[in-house]
A and B are shown apart, each in its own frame.
Chain A
Amino acid sequence: MSEADETPTDETAVDDTAAADAASTPAEGEPASEPTPDGDSAGPDGSERSGLALAESGVSVDPTPLEVDDLSKTFGGIVAVDGVSFDVEAGTLTGLIGPNGAGKSTTFNLITGMLDPDSGTVRFNGEDITGLQPHEVANKGLARTFQIARELEEMTVLENMMLAPKGQAGESLWRSVLPVARGAVRKQEAEQLDRVWEVLDFFEIDHLADEYAGNLSGGQRKLLELARALLTDPDVLLLDEPFAGVNPSLERRLLEHIHELREQGYTFLIVEHDMDLIMNNCERVIVMHQGAVLKDGTPAEIKDSEEVIEAYLGGEV
């Protein structure tokens, strides 16, 4: 380890140690010792990073890529989602908030095909995607992450990342087995690998590349999940509580990444409990309460809304 003679800045030292830890003793790589995300390091990287997203993503031109209209879902006698309508504008960070049980996650599941709605439609880039299978929705360019990060634990970070890209020829059995076709598969994988490393660098988890995903800390898993979703080359990303269980410094880093990606043209819909976080970062906020949309507007409008305060601070729940 040549740490000492490099006369590193504080953060280099910290990160170096983290890298060495991850390499020699697996499982450690505590986000507590993560470097504080810094504005100035983004400067020299700027050009590379904007290249990252726009290189492959055909970012949507539709002004409202995601439109949800009158969506409803009941489980037995419980109305989980009750006539929810909203739309998400391209290139924005839209927050979806509400007390526990407001139907946020169910709405996510209805949009992404994990659940079939009882009524209502979901339109994505002008196309009706209601009731499609989750993998079909994902292949249209609507990616999601989960509330509890769902890493593929006994696969390495690299395997997790390599899994994500769409249209892999090697996903057909005969291509991955037969001699000539396998050559083409290898070629495609090698190309894909460049982008995987680029994204790993972007999220600064490249030192964990060979680690089993199950050995990552909670915050690192969230980063990996976002990175993985990004590799599916989506137009819109639905993030279900991306900051839950993430320490403040990593939370800031994650937010910075999200802002950067949004500037590159990605669209985000984020479910979150932390009111302040949503209010400070989203252009638009949708508040759900008891399965319905209570309020839809700018953070300032939401803050002043009597109904929202009522819903959060009690009243009839």
Chain B
Amino acid sequence: MSTDDIRGRLTGLSDSDVPLVIAVLAAVYAAYVLAGVAFGYGLRGQLNSIANLTFYVGVFGMLALALNLHWGYTGLFNIGVIGFMGIGVYVTAVVSKPPVAEAGAAQVGGFGLPLSVGIAAGVLAAAFFGLVVALPALRLRADYLAIVTVAFSEIVRFSLMSRTFQSFTAPDTIDVAVGGVQLFSVDPSVDTFGLGGGGGLILNYSDPLEALLRTLFLWDPYLGFVAFVERNYIPNNPKPVLDGLLYGALLLVAVGLFYLLLSRIGKSPFGRVLKAIREDEDAANALGKDTNRFKLTAFVLGAALMGLGGILWYSSRGSVTPPSFRPNITFFIWIALIIGGAGSNTGSVLGGAVFAGVLYEGPRYLKNLVETAFDLGDAPRSFGDAVAAFGSLDPVPFVTYTLDSVSQLRLVIMGLVLVWLMHNRPEGMLGHRKETASSVDLSRPDGAGGAGKQTATDGGDDR
């Protein structure tokens, strides 16, 4: 037995990443489908729950990957993830919303640019704010950076709510003049724009899915497919269900692209320096690495990816409002990353899937199932009422009360899982793995055979 065997086995292990991810996803999906069958869900209900599950698997996977670049690789304690997500989606909205004339007078308009431009602008804006936060904050040690980032995300949320930024009116014409001589005048198509204040923004730009399919000339075939499904499987209006499924599938593709990008970064000299910064910044510096530059690059890139994640999460909805951007989402993403294992890209994807399937959507799904299967009547209004029914040996009110409070209970369950993980498996599902930071296999190259023989003579190794 030699170290080569061990090395071979380790390589084999990392090769099994794809099957592992597929196995975990399959297990989660199978659990959903089987539970649906057991409780008598129809096809429509099944597809709907699968679409919903896929959506959250996708967004949490993406955001956990982006956070892994910050925390898992570089050791940057960013607890302001939601701030970058919010910036991404709001900038996209402002850039791509149609001007007010097309949308009705009651609300704020936008610049009416194509959605692709809006998304690019949103990502760039998130990256820019990443830079703004990072420049002063990266000189700070871990916990101070955490304070800065969480404060930043709250500043973002309060700015979104602020009346100051609620609405601006664009002038009808803008005269461009140099030295008193008027050159030309511009008539901007935008009338009003702004962040919409506490009421949020109605996302009345073209549906992202439709925009994408139209660009790919797939819109008509897709409508044909929808009509086919309507004729044969789901009689009444299957389009929302199919839209959801397709969007979920696209999110999974996006997760794949995130993964590809981040694992390339991880397996490169750049990623190696990031890891070194996580382990000991001074040591990396003493080895000639300009650690500030690396931290800045990693932070800005991660912020941009978080912006993109935010856009993909929220932009398919009808509207966005500031309360969606509270820090609890940040902590959900952290839990996903911790479950998967900080430092491992595969782990981040798995963590996102497990968190979304079990902790985030699981309790809600269970509630829906139970409510569909049994007619339990209305839940008691208070905990006292629920417990009082035990006096007459009737557990039903307690059960309905519990189900009714499932979204609050979810947080309790997440907390318990987090405590358990910290005690028993702080490295998460895959955090213990060696994802070697190098673009090439680091085992002894064949060319160094002479040196290898040399060591054998002085007893270095038994190769």
Contacts and interface: CB of A to CB of B under 8 A. Distances in A.
A235 to B, nearest CB: 13
B290 interface: yes
Given A11-B459, A150-B282, A156 B436 contact: yes
A15 B461 CA distance: 7
Contacts of B459: 8-9, 11-12, 14-16, 35, 41
Contacts of B283: 146, 150-152
B440 to A, nearest CB: 5
Contacts of B445: 190, 193-194, 197
B286 A112 contact: yes
A163 B261 CA distance: 21
A246 B452 CA distance: 27
B207 interface: no
A310 interface: no
A139 to B, nearest CB: 4
Nearest to B297: A173
Interface in B1-58: 1-3, 6-7, 10
B462 A138 contact: no
Interface string B267-301: 01111110110111011111111110010010001
The 3 tightest CB contacts between A and B, nearest first, are A176-B268, A170-B269, A138-B288
A134 interface: yes
Contacts of A168: 269
A189 B447 contact: no
Given A114-B282, A155-B275, A185-B268, A232 B287 contact: yes
Nearest to A10: B459
26 contacts: A2-B462, A9-B459, A16-B461, A23-B1, A138-B288, A143-B287, A155-B272, A156-B436, A159-B272, A162-B438, A162-B442, A163-B284, A171-B270, A176-B270, A177-B261, A177-B264, A182-B264, A182-B439, A185-B268, A186-B439, A190-B445, A197-B448, A204-B460, A207-B460, A210-B10, A212-B434
Contacts of A301: none
Contact of B434 (A22, A156, A171, A196): A156
Contact of A134 (B10, B285, B343): B285
Contact of A185 (B7, B269, B284): B269
Interface of A: 1-3, 8-9, 11-12, 14-16, 19-20, 22-24, 35, 38, 41, 44-45, 48, 112, 114, 133-135, 138-139, 143-144, 146, 150-156, 158-159, 162-164, 166, 168-173, 175-177, 182, 185-186, 189-190, 193-194, 196-198, 201, 204, 206-207, 209-210, 212, 228-229, 232
B282 A154 contact: no
A287 B301 CA distance: 49
B3 A210 contact: yes
B6 A201 contact: no
B451 A198 contact: yes
Nearest to B451: A201
B269 A152 contact: no
A151 B284 CA distance: 10
A48 B457 CA distance: 13
B458 interface: yes
Nearest to B279: A152
B289 to A, nearest CB: 6
A3 B451 CA distance: 21
Given A135-B290, A151-B280, A201-B460, 11 more contacts: A12-B459, A23-B6, A112-B286, A114-B282, A135-B287, A143-B286, A164-B288, A170-B269, A171-B294, A176-B268, A176-B439
Contacts of A143: 286-287
Residue among B7, B273, B280, B454 facing the most chain A CB atoms (10 A cut-off)? B454
B275 A176 contact: no
B7 A210 contact: yes
B423 interface: no
B261 A152 contact: no
B319 to A, nearest CB: 35
A8 B457 CA distance: 10
A176 B437 contact: no
Given A146-B286, A171-B273, A228-B287, A186 B279 contact: no
Given A135-B285, A138-B288, A201-B460, A189 B280 contact: no
